[in-house]
Amino acid sequence: MSAWLRHHSQSLWQTLARLASAPFATLANVLVIAVALALPLGAYGLLVNLQGFSGSLPTEPQISLFLSSGGSAPDVATLEAQLRKAEGVRGVRFVSRDAALAGLKRAPGMAEVISSLRDNPLPDAFVVTLADGDASAAERLEKQFRALPGVAHVQVDSAWVRRIDALLRLGRTTVLLLGTLLGFALVAVTFNTIRLQVLTQREEIEVSKLIGATDAFIRRPFYYLGGLLGAGGGLAALGIVALSFSLLNRDLASFGTLYGVEVSLQFLSTADAITIVFFAGALGWMGTYLSVSRHLHHIEPR
């Protein structure tokens, strides 16, 4: 066990020394990987910010229920109790037809129009505030409220919820596709880099096989090389995204000042950043595994 750990430690330090001995080549490989990761990573960061922004919008999803004429006070009270018991409802507010008419009179240009009416044409109504902005929950409650007795019409005031939900679904799919395609690109870059490294060390590998080195012994430094290049590319991609968000926040601050709002992009959480670095390292290791498995068995001692 101690010999195994010692060899892993030696392989890691040898790989670090090899990377340090060719800083420009190492930097070029890391930057290529970073650019491949930065695009889906930046899109994911924007998606997370958009999702957080949609959850903090001051407009609350609501459903308006317009009642049939002729309903008695006990019927209205019973309906209100049913609405309050419904799952996903946070609040219920009753708006009488007289209060609705008075509010309409206060609207600019409507006072004269309202005064010309003989009777109040507006119905009594309930305004139901939902507990969250989930579009599926709003649709479920809409169907449930339409079946209640005394309800003439139901209007869902959550078109913006559906639009944002559709936009977020589109964003998730786009990020997934970008991440998948550029993940293959990262594997391909690592594959080619390790192939060149194997060919460069061909004579060294032949000598190692002559003295009895196993394939696992020879592969190990290459695995560390691919994993470190991938992890380094992940760290560089995080730096690129952080710099991009910083530049965008400077312009967003000016934009927010014009409209009296505070808008800024938040960087990824620590857990997300660590996951991305490990994921990039795993992709680098995968490219190394494919490359070494393909090219190492072609090298035999002369």
The whole-number pLDDT of residue 58 equals 47
Tell me the average pLDDT across 241-257.
81
Q: CA 8, CA 72: separation in Å to the nearest integer?
A: 82
Residue with tokens 């559709």: 166
Q: HEC states along 179-237?
A: HHHHHHHHHHHHHHHHHHHHHHCHHHHHHHHHCCCCHHHHHHHHHHHHHHHHHHHHHHH
Domains and CATH numbers, the chain: 2-56+163-298 (no CATH), 62-157 (3.30.70.3040)
**pLDDT tens across 27-83, in order?**
888 888 888 888 888 888 888 777 766 555 545 678 888 888 767 788 888 888 888
Establish how many alpha carbons lie within 13 A of residue 223's alpha carbon, considering only the half-sphere containing its beta carbon. Answer: 12
The lowest-confidence range among 19-23, 31-35, 168-172 is: 19-23
pTM: 0.61
| pLDDT value of position 236 | 92
State how far the Cα of 177 lies from the Cα of 175, in Å rounded to an integer.
5
Please state which of the ranges 27-36, 72-81, 99-108, 246-255 shows the lowest mean pLDDT.
99-108
Single-letter amino acid code for the residue at 204: E
Most confident of 197-206, 243-252, 288-297: 243-252
Nearest CA to 3 among 208, 220, 229? 220
Residues 48/49/51/52 CA torsion (nearest 10 deg): 120
Binning the chain into helix, strand and coil, the percentages to the nearest 5 are: 70, 10, 20
**Pick from 269, 293, 119: nearest CA to 191:** 293
Whole-number Å distance between alpha carbons of 201 and 7: 19
